[in-house]
Chain A
Amino acid sequence: MDTNTNLPQCWQDFNDVIEAGIDRVILFGPPGTGKTFAGLNMGNTDAGAWRLVCTEDMTNFDVTGGFLPGSEGSFDWHDGAAIKAWRGNGIAGGRLVVDEIDKAGGDVFATLLAMTDTVESAKWENPANGRIETPKDGFSVVMTTNIENMEELPSALKDRFPCAIRINEPHPDALVNLPENIREYARKMADAGERRISLRQFYAYGQLAKSHDKERAANLIFGEKAEAFLDAVRVDTVQ
C-alpha cells in the first residue's frame, strides 16, 4: 500500500497504532471499506499474513490444523492459519487476520482466544509430533468485524484486543481505480447505513458507465436506489 500523507482519520489511526507496535487490533465498521485488505497488507507483513474467515460451522481445523488422508493411505498433518502465522517466516511471527470472530462457534472461539493470547501465555502442543509451539516474536493479530457496538463482543476477546478502530471510509488507495467523478461519492456512501453503496458496486457502476449512459448503469447496479443516486448527483453538481 502507498503511504498517503493525507490519510482519512480512521486510516491514520490504524497506521499510527501498527507503527507503534500494537499487535492486537480490532477494525470494525461498515463492510466493503477494506478492513481485511488493510489487515493483510498494512504495517510490517514481511513474515507473511494469513486470513481466517469465521463462520458458525467452521472447526479448529482452520485455526490450528488437522489430519488429512495422505497419498499412501496414511494421514498427514496440515497446519491451520493461526499456527502458520505463529511461525511466520521461521524468523519472525506473521500476521493473523481474523474476519468476523464474533461469528465463530464456542469451540473455535475458545481456541482463537488461546491463539490470540499474549506471546508469553500462548502455547499449543502439536498432536502430530508432540512439540510445543509458541508464537514467534512479531506475531500480530488484526480482527475485523461489522458489528458497530464493541460492547457486544465477549469480554475475554475485548481484553485481548486493547485497541479498536472504527473504519468508516475506504482507504484512498482503494479508490484510485474508480473514475475520478465518483471517487468522493464512493467514499461518502461507504458508511450510509441502509442506503450504503459498496465500493464494489461503485467499481461496477464506473465500469458500466463507460459503455452505457449513466441512467442505465445506475439502474442496473443500484436498482431502486438509482433514482435517488442520480438525483443526488444532479443536485451535488449544480454549477
Chain B
Amino acid sequence: MTTIMEMKRKDLRPMPELIRRKDGANDEPAEWTIKPCAAERGAPMTAVLPKEMHAPIQDFELDRVIRAHEMMHAKVSPADKRTWIERGIATERGMVAVEEARVNFLIAKVGFDVSILEDNTELVAGERISERGDWEEAVYFTAALSGCGGMNKFLVGIRRHRPAWAPRLRRIHELLQKELRRIDRAADRGGDTPLMSTRTNSGRLDPSKELVRGYFHVEAIAEWLDRLAEEPHKDEEQEEDEENQSQEGEGEDNERTEGNDTEKGDPASAGVGAKNEGNFNPPLSKADLEAQKPTTNREAGSWAQLNVKEQNLTRHVPGGLGKKRIASNMGRNPRRIGNMLTDPQKRIFDRKIKGNGGVVLIDYSGSMALNEKDVLQIMEAAPGCTVACYTTNSYDKDGKPNLWVLGARGRMTTLIPDSRGGNGVDHPALVWAIQQKQNANAPVVWVTDGGVVGPGQGYKDQLALQCIKTCLKSNVLIRDDVEDAVELLNDISARKPIKRWWPLYFRTTYKRQTGKRLEV
C-alpha cells in the first residue's frame, strides 16, 4: 500500500508534449517546461505557445485531475487569447470562466472525476463575493466552478449573505452545463462543431493568429454570461419596473415561486456592488435569466479589418468646431448695442461657445444611399462634426479602404466613393466612430438599417448583438436614413429631447437573445 509520504515524494509530471492539435500549435516535438505547483485554485496554469505548464505533481487523486485539467487546456484552449479578446464579442473574464467549464466538461467526458476538483476555498470565496454584493463576480465564479465539486460549497458561502442569489447562480450553472451537453450531442450527430475542435476557422496553421473552431462555443456562451453578469441598463430597469407593476396587478410573482429562497427588497436597487444590507435580491430576475439565450456556434461571425481613408476634404463648410460668438446679457464689451432696443432680454454682449461637433457614421452598403448633398446637410446641422461612411465586399482581404472620412474639421469632400455593395465592418466602424468623438458630450449618430453582416456572411445575431451592446454602452443614436439623422442633429443642436430608435433587425435580435425589448 502506498503511504502518504510516498505519494508526496513522487514526481508525476504530465506529458503535454504528447498532445496533438489541429492548429499547428505543439506540432513540432519539443520539451515543455513543467513547474510543480500547489494543488490550489489559481496556481496551475498552461501556456501553449511558450510550452509551459504549472501543475501539481504528487500522487494524489486531486493532483491527477488537476493535471488532466491542465492537459485539456493544452489540448483545446486557444494558443493565443488576444485574437479572441480583440474580437470584442465577449469579455476576457467571461471567456476565461466558460473555458474552465468547457475544460472540466471535457475531462469529465474522458472519465476523470471532476467532483473532487475543489480546494476548500470555495466557501470563503462565496461568502466574500456575496458580502460585497458583487453579482458580476458571482456569475463568473459560478461558471468557472460549473461542474466541479466546489460548486455546492460556493453556493453555501453565497447564501450566508445573499440567500436569494443562490438559486439564480445554481440555475446559471445548470443552463451552462445544459448548453455544453447540447453542443456535445449536436456535434456527435454531426450537426455542430465539436467542443474540443482545434481546427482553425481559415484552415491556416497559425496558432498565434487563427481562431480555433471549438472556442467559438466558449465565446458564444461567454457573451451570454456577460449579459447575465452585467448591471441592467436604466432603460431596461424602467421597463422591468413597468412590467413588475403590471404583474403585481395580476397578483402573480415569479420570484416567490422559488421555494425557500425568499427574496426581499427592491430588485432594481440591488445592483452590482450594492452594499446595502437590506437589498438581497439578485440583479437578474428568474424570468430574465430564462429569457436570455446564448447565441449558437452557427451565429458566430467575424468582421473584416477596418481600413480608413480620409478623402480629399476640399470644400469648406460654414461653421466649425471652433469658438462661436453668441449674444449674451452680461459681459464687458457691448458689441451688440443694437440689441438694447430690439432684444427683449437686452443681450448686448458677446459670449463664446464651442461647437458640439459629433460623429455621423453612415452604413453605405447596397441597401443604403448617399450623395454629396447628404454630407453637406449633416455638416450644416452639426458644425465641426466628422462624417464617414463604410462599405466593403464579400472578399475584403485586399487592404483597400472600407471606411472613408467624408467630412471633418469644417471641410468636406466633393467625391463620394462608390459603394462596394456589402457591410463587412459595421462594428469596427462603430468603434472607430466612437473614438472620433471630439468631446465626451459629442453625439455619435449611426445611419443604418441594422442589417449588419460580416464579409461574405449572412446576418448573425452574435454580430448584431455586439453592435447593440456597443450602442447601449456608448449611447450611440441610430437613424434609418440621412434625412432622419439631419433632423436628429438639429434636435440635438436645439437641445430638444431625443428619442432612441432601433432598427427592426436589432429589435428582433435583442428580443430573441435576451428576451427583452429595445426601447423604441
Contact = CB atoms under 8 A, between A and B. Distances in A.
A161 to B, nearest CB: 24
Interface string B29-46: 111101000000000000
Contacts of B304: none
Contacts of A200: none
A194 B33 CA distance: 10
Given A224-B10, A235-B110, A191 B30 contact: yes
A225 interface: yes
B68 A234 contact: yes
Nearest to A237: B110
Interface stretch (A34-42, A131-139, A180-188): A180-188
A235 B20 contact: no
**SS class of chain B's interface: helix, strand, loop or mixed?**
loop
B31 A192 contact: yes
Contact of A235 (B10, B32, B107): B107
A234 B110 contact: yes
B229 interface: no
A157 B249 CA distance: 94
A237 B112 CA distance: 13
A187 B18 CA distance: 9
Contact of A236 (B18, B29, B31): B18
Contacts of A168: 28-30
B28 A238 contact: no
Contacts of B20: 184, 188, 236
Contacts of A169: 28-29
Given A169-B29, A236-B19, A231 B10 contact: no
B13 A192 contact: no
Contacts of B75: 235-236, 238
A189 B194 contact: no
Given A231-B14, A239-B194, A195 B31 contact: yes
Interface in A155-204: 168-169, 184-185, 187-196
A28 B171 CA distance: 58
Contacts of B15: 189, 192, 195, 225, 228-229, 232
Q: Chain A, interface size: which category?
A: 20 to 34
A238 B18 contact: no
B106 interface: yes
B484 to A, nearest CB: 53
Contacts of A195: 13, 15, 17, 31, 34
A234 B111 contact: yes
Nearest to A169: B29
Contacts of A234: 68, 110-112
A193 B107 CA distance: 26
B12 A228 contact: yes
Contacts, number: 89
A190 B31 contact: no
A238 B20 CA distance: 11
A71 B19 CA distance: 60
A232 B19 contact: yes
A84 B30 CA distance: 38
B212 to A, nearest CB: 14
B106 A231 contact: no
Nearest to A196: B31
Contacts of A196: 31
Interface string B2-24: 00000000111111111110000
B29 A191 contact: yes
B109 interface: yes
Contacts of A190: 29
Q: Identify which of B10, B30, B196 gathers the most chain A CB atoms within 10 Å of its CB.
A: B30
A215 to B, nearest CB: 13
Contacts of B14: 228, 231-232
A60 B480 CA distance: 92
A52 B13 CA distance: 37
A232 B110 contact: no
A192 B107 contact: no
B68 A189 contact: no
Contacts of B31: 191-196
A169 B30 CA distance: 9
A225 B28 CA distance: 21
A30 to B, nearest CB: 9
A233 interface: yes
8 contacts: A168-B28, A169-B29, A184-B20, A192-B30, A193-B31, A237-B110, A238-B72, A239-B196
Top 6 A-B residue pairs of the complex, sorted by shortest distance between their CB atoms: A193-B31, A191-B29, A192-B17, A235-B71, A232-B15, A232-B18
Given A189-B29, A195-B17, A231-B14, 7 more contacts: A188-B17, A188-B18, A192-B17, A193-B31, A195-B34, A228-B12, A232-B16
